[in-house]
Homo-oligomer: A and B are copies of this chain.
Amino acid sequence: MKSAEALSPLLQRIAQGSATTRAELARVTRLSRSSVSQRVDALLDNGLVIEEGTAPSSGGRPALRLRINAEAALILVADLGATRARFAVSDLAGAELGSSDQGQDIDQEPAKVLAWADGQLRMLLDRAGRQPADVRAIVVGLPAPVQFATGTAIKPPLMPRWDGYRVPGYFAERYAAVTLVDNDVNLMALGEHRATYPGLEHLLFIKAGTGIGCGIIVSGHLHRGADGAAGDVGHIHVPGCDAPCRCGNTGCLEAVAGGQAMASHLTAKGLAAATARDVASLATRGDTLARQEVRAAAQHIGEVLAAIVSFANPSAIVVGGSLAQLDDVLLSGIRAGIHARALPLAQRSLRIETSTLGERAGTVGAIALAQDRLLSEEGLDHLLRIRR
């Protein structure tokens, strides 16, 4: 049997669709035809690819097209937010076999939250007629800074009981699967990049809701930073603002433009609003005060983004989270804030858009993360070992 390191490059090309016949694979990998044939046979024997139909040929026998065997692995996703969670099951080709949304409270014992999440995932598996034994990757999104290499939340303000808890340990006893843990906004950035802007090199995803966070794609890859804390923009100082923040500082972006801040400004004006979602639904229904509030918050977000645009010079900023449904007010405010302060050159080719995936951005990103891992040398080694 060929090793994962020999097979992974071929499998990745087949999955991307960039080379799907033996001849194409030989051309792009610069391996000999016989070497490619041996490796493709190993992939077929292990049920990782299947042959289907024929490709146009320039003479001789028509070539057989290869594609990834979607049935070779199941992927589970638990995208856990502060107050809501989204679950999904997909196959190895990334097709969603089922999903669900649930209210939840993340600030509990991690084992309790994960047991509940696992129950939700098993329900989805059951409904799709699939077996837990076929799960090969699990991705957990958390509203926290995450040390990706170990799958550990680090000093998470919204969920202090999770500090240092290794999420992969929980699933290791229950599934023959790799478990990946990432920050929820990182997953959203990855999802939006893969699904909507795969050709853009540098993209920022801003989640505007209760908290304000940022996922960063640099050269097509997630930038997590030295401590998994990259993109934590909620406590950047907004020039000219001094509202006190729960972090102990003043003038933080969240204290000025976060869901809580907007809701309490509106409450002070006699409206009933407790969360970012309340503010969003008031504004959606056309309430002038709520729309003004969202517009002001968006402009403050834009002022902070102006500094970030000058620093990072991204190709696109995609805005998601519960405020994103208000795309007219939100985007015009953000654009105004950026326009007033960012360097003209850095704005020249900058696109500012709302998320096309909406609530699904996190699960789409999580599935992409799992696929990348399963098709990598390390992930494929795991798949092959389980088959032996």
Query: Shortest CB–CB separation between residue A198 and chain B, in angstroms?
Result: 15
A336-358 vs B, Cβ < 8 Å mask (1 yes, 0 no): 00000101111011100000000
| In the complex, A236 has a CB within 8 A of chain B | yes
| In the complex, A43 has a CB within 8 A of chain B | no
Rounded to whole angstroms, the CA-CA distance of A360 and B218 in the bound complex is 28
Tell whether, in the assembled complex, residue B145 and residue A232 are in contact, meaning their CB atoms are under 8 Å apart. no
| In the complex, A196 has a CB within 8 A of chain B | no
Q: Interface residue tally of chain A, by bracket?
A: 35 or more
Tell whether, in the assembled complex, residue A341 and residue B311 are in contact, meaning their CB atoms are under 8 Å apart. no
Q: Which residues of A contact B (CB under 8 A)?
A: 5, 30, 145, 154-155, 201-202, 214, 216, 218-219, 221, 223-233, 235-240, 249, 251, 303-304, 306-308, 310-315, 341, 343-346, 348-350
Tell whether, in the assembled complex, residue A226 and residue B249 are in contact, meaning their CB atoms are under 8 Å apart. no
Q: Which of A235, A310, A345, A349: most chain B Cβ within 10 A?
A: A310
Tell whether, in the assembled complex, residue B310 and residue A307 are in contact, meaning their CB atoms are under 8 Å apart. no
Given A232-B343, A345-B154, A345-B232, answer yes or no on A350-B307 (Cβ-Cβ < 8 Å): no
Tell whether, in the assembled complex, residue A350 and residue B249 are in contact, meaning their CB atoms are under 8 Å apart. no
Tell whether, in the assembled complex, residue A311 and residue B310 are in contact, meaning their CB atoms are under 8 Å apart. no
Rounded to whole angstroms, the CA-CA distance of A30 and B233 in the bound complex is 44
A30 contacts across to B, CB distance below 8 A: 5
Given A218-B218, A306-B237, A311-B311, answer yes or no on A227-B348 (Cβ-Cβ < 8 Å): yes
A249 contacts across to B, CB distance below 8 A: 341
The residue in chain B whose Cβ has the minimal distance to the Cβ of A218 is B218
Given A218-B218, A226-B202, A239-B239, answer yes or no on A233-B345 (Cβ-Cβ < 8 Å): no
Given A214-B311, A343-B232, answer yes or no on A221-B223 (Cβ-Cβ < 8 Å): no
Tell whether, in the assembled complex, residue B344 and residue A230 are in contact, meaning their CB atoms are under 8 Å apart. no
Tell whether, in the assembled complex, residue B225 and residue A202 are in contact, meaning their CB atoms are under 8 Å apart. yes
Tell whether, in the assembled complex, residue B349 and residue A314 are in contact, meaning their CB atoms are under 8 Å apart. no
Query: What are 11 residue pairs bridging A and B, where the CB atoms are less than 8 Å apart in the complex?
Result: A202-B226, A225-B312, A225-B313, A226-B313, A226-B314, A232-B345, A235-B341, A237-B306, A238-B239, A239-B251, A311-B311
Tell whether, in the assembled complex, residue B310 and residue A346 are in contact, meaning their CB atoms are under 8 Å apart. no
Given A221-B219, A345-B154, answer yes or no on A237-B235 (Cβ-Cβ < 8 Å): no
Query: Which one of B155, B233, B237, B313 contacts A311 once the chains associate, using CB atoms below 8 Å?
Result: B233
Query: Shortest CB–CB separation between residue A164 and chain B, in angstroms?
Result: 13
Query: Which one of B218, B225, B341, B345 contacts A346 once the chains associate, using CB atoms below 8 Å?
Result: B225
